[in-house]
């Protein structure tokens, strides 16, 4: 890589001398050519995958051939490993409950909601004619951390009532959820319909309607979340979200992610396709759990969030990261 950069620098320098001898039109052409070379060079360098992750990706290929997987380093945002990256860049799907930690963190930070607020859940929920029953065990009314750990739809539907619908677009744009990431070429961009009513805002917060994102966009959003949790570690918002993500991966809906000893906190998501009742599954994790270095996204075109968490657990069992 060092020799490649040196050679490129010589080429650019030579090109710069050549420009001086050309007319204006030719200068522009040479400038465009040089810019293209630089862009391509940077893109190739940024997308080189870490060989240490190869056994983990090979495991994923064996146990879940259709899984789209993206691993992003939190410190610099570079992709270090992937499976079906091109498909992941073009896949747009409802994010399901993976939105809950992102929205909850911002609500708590902005004072829209209290982490101590408890909401009872009967297990039944219907919004706008859509049944969104909870699958968690019956329990006393949840607070925010418990609701995140068990992914309680009833709790987050109630919390979403505190969000002014017109504020929700900015809450999703801030973590980079609605924009291309630059992790690869040919990326699709999130499809988002700004909510006009409380019911529409609830369905968006639950990640089942009004929004479709790519696995790459979710990776970027959770990288933002990881950096926020680190920068504001002592805040109620950070402690609540971190605790919820750790508990759901330990004994909650996402426990498959830690079943083989991986040190990870994260969130599952399950939602139906735009034109089909068939469900797809997500898991987005931060690993290692105590001091996250990577975001791991697993998307299954067919399945549930618990299935995606189990795939993530297999992958992380062979990954170059700290274990429990």
Same domain, yes or no: 12 and 143: no
293 pLDDT exceeds 50? yes
Q: Which domain holds residue 190?
A: 49-317
Same domain, yes or no: 38 and 58: no
- 209, part of any domain: yes
**More reliable by pLDDT, 109 or 49:** 109
Same domain, yes or no: 7 and 138: no
Same domain, yes or no: 32 and 172: no
Q: Is the separation of the CB atoms in 297 and 284 below 8 Å?
A: yes
Same domain, yes or no: 105 and 187: yes
Same domain, yes or no: 20 and 158: no
Model confidence band, residue 26 (pLDDT cutoffs 50, 70, 90): very low
Model confidence band, residue 47 (pLDDT cutoffs 50, 70, 90): low
- Mean pLDDT over 165-175 rounds to 97
Strands 68-73 and 276-287, how do they pair?
unpaired
Same domain, yes or no: 26 and 125: no
- 110, part of any domain: yes
Same domain, yes or no: 19 and 73: no
Same domain, yes or no: 73 and 209: yes
CA dihedral 175, 177, 183, 185 (to 10 degrees): -150
- 323, part of any domain: no
Which CATH number is 96's domain given?
3.40.710.10
Query: 271-309 in b/e burial notation, b at 16+ Cβ within 10 A?
Result: bbeeeeeebbbbbbbbbbbeebebbbbbbbbebbbbbbb
Q: Is the separation of the CB atoms in 188 and 226 below 8 Å?
A: no
Q: How many domains does the chain have?
A: 2
Q: Which residues contact 121 (CB under 8 A, 6 or more apart)?
A: 134, 136, 139, 141, 142, 152, 154, 155
15 pLDDT exceeds 90? no
Same domain, yes or no: 133 and 245: yes
- 108, part of any domain: yes
């Amino acid at each position: 890589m060092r020799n490649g950069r040196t050679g490129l620098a010589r080429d650019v320098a030579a090109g710069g001398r050549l420009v001086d001898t050309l007319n204006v039109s030719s200068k522009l052409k040479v400038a465009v050519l040089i810019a293209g070379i630089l862009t391509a060079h940077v893109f190739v360098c940024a997308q080189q995958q870490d060989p240490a992750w190869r056994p983990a990706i090979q495991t994923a290929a064996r146990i879940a051939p259709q899984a789209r997987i993206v691993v992003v380093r939190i410190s610099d945002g570079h992709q270090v490993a992937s499976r079906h990256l091109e498909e992941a860049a073009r896949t747009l799907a409802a994010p399901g409950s993976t939105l809950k930690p992102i929205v909850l963190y911002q609500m708590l930070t902005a004072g829209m909601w209290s982490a101590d607020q408890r909401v009872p859940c009967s297990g039944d929920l219907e919004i706008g004619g859509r049944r969104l029953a909870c699958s968690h065990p019956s329990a006393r009314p949840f607070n925010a951390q418990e609701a995140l750990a068990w992914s309680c739809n009833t709790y987050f539907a109630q919390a979403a009532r505190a969000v002014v619908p017109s504020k929700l677009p900015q809450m999703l744009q801030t973590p980079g959820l609605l924009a291309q990431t630059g992790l690869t070429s040919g990326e699709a961009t999130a499809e988002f319909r700004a909510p006009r009513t409380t019911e529409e805002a609830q369905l968006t917060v639950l990640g089942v309607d009004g929004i479709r994102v790519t696995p790459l966009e979710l990776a970027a959003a959770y990288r933002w979340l990881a950096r926020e949790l680190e920068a504001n570690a002592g805040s109620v918002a950070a402690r609540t979200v971190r605790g919820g993500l750790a508990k759901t991966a330990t004994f909650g809906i996402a426990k498959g992610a830690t079943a083989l000893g991986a040190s990870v906190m994260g969130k599952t998501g399950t939602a139906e396709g735009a034109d089909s009742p068939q469900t797809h599954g997500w898991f987005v994790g931060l690993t290692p759990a105590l001091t996250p270095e990577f975001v791991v996204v697993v998307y299954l075109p067919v399945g549930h969030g618990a299935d995606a968490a189990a795939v993530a657990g297999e992958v992380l069992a062979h990954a170059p990261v700290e274990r429990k």
